[in-house]
Amino acid sequence: PSFGFLFDIDGVLIRGKTPIPAAKTAFQKLVNSQGQFLVPVVFVTNAGNCLRQKKADQLSHLLGVPISQDQVMMSHSPLRMFKRYHEKCVLVSGQGPLLDIAQDLGFCQPITIETLREKHPLLDAVDHDRRSNILVSVHFCFKMISVVLFGEPVRWETNLQLIIDVLLTSGYPGNPYHHKNYPHIPVLACNMDLMWVAEAQSPRFGHGTFMVCLENIYKKITGKDLKYEALMGKPSRVTYQYAEYLIRAQAAERQWKQPILTLYAVGDNLMTDVYGANLWENELALAAAAHCRSVLVCTGVYNPHTEVPLDTRESITETVFHGHRDFRFDPGLVEPDHIVPDVDAAVDLVFQLENFAP
């Protein structure tokens, strides 16, 4: 095959923990009788609250086909490439087995918000019932040299407070704030989704919403913009770069000789899946390399009954552009190459476009 698939998960294959009916049908078409994939497939999710193996196991169970962890790309997967931070002490925010995830990615000294809270009990003061009776903080000599935001945390007020503390003290929370500490220590963020789709009828807050809170609090306190050292997860360039690497690695492992010329990114979100695929397509076009085509399904965030304003002179407000602050709104980038009802129709369409007969 000269093409590969990049599948989003939430809203394309599952909603919450429930598989979308079309997904099983689609995946029966993608494997042979031995359960081997007929074309390279990578699952590119903006989720980041578990290890790749766990996500692969979940998908195998839900889709009824064997999926390896090498086919799964979490929003945090590109952090493997940020080796300059791996030996240093980093503050990690999110939920799930954070330390396991961080260590699996190569971080040697991750510190969770909860650990920081225990070491500095005076810092977390919003919830009166959780306020500490201890009036002195434990001596904590580690200097945090960066902050890694893995995904939406559970106690937002605690996470927001302690991350701001770390940023405004250059990694020494508990010390007085210094507004001269700018630019602040590096912040690496995974998953910019403002919203995502689960079982509820309307989309739910994603990590992007938490980031909006953090950015605005930082700006309100300091008058300056919060800066990101790196943004990972769709629609970022580094995510598609890494996904393409995984597709090519898969093709090489299967000893498929044909070069991969086209990637089909199947997703449900205009602002992440389509925007990201189109952004990557533009980059590939400049390099005269392969193509990345966006295929939008109607089983998740995307609602075919709402339209994106095509006139950029109109005031594009946050209510329209759900993308991250650091990505510009361009109507061309949220224009999918194809719109189909569901993932099964997406697979049929791609097979047809590629004249591929399994």
Which fold does the domain 3-75+234-353 belong to in CATH? Answer: Rossmann fold (3.40.50)
What is the predicted pLDDT for the residue at 139?
60
* pLDDT band (50, 70, 90) for residue 178: confident
User: Around Cβ 11, how many Cβ atoms within 10 Å?
Assistant: 24
Q: Where are the domains of the chain?
A: 3-75+234-353, 78-232
What does the chain come to in residues? 358
* pLDDT band (50, 70, 90) for residue 136: low
For 202-226, write each residue's pLDDT tens digit: 889 999 999 999 999 999 999 999 9
H/E run at residue 210: helix 207-222
Interatomic CA distance for residues 134 and 118, integer angstroms: 11
Give the pTM. Answer: 0.87
Average pLDDT score over residue span 101-116: 97
Whole-angstrom CA distances from 26 to 21, 151, 303, 350 are 9, 29, 21, 11
For the chain, what is the mean pLDDT?
91
Are 107 and 147 within 8 A, CB to CB?
A: no
| pLDDT above 70 coverage of the chain, percent | 93
Average pLDDT score over residue span 26-48: 96
Tokens coding 30 = 């993608």
Examine domains 3-75+234-353 and 78-232 and report if their fold is the same: yes
Which fold does the domain 78-232 belong to in CATH? Answer: Rossmann fold (3.40.50)
pLDDT at 232 over 50: yes
Average pLDDT score over residue span 19-40: 96
Taking each continuous run of H as one helix and of E as one strand, the counts in the chain are 9, 15
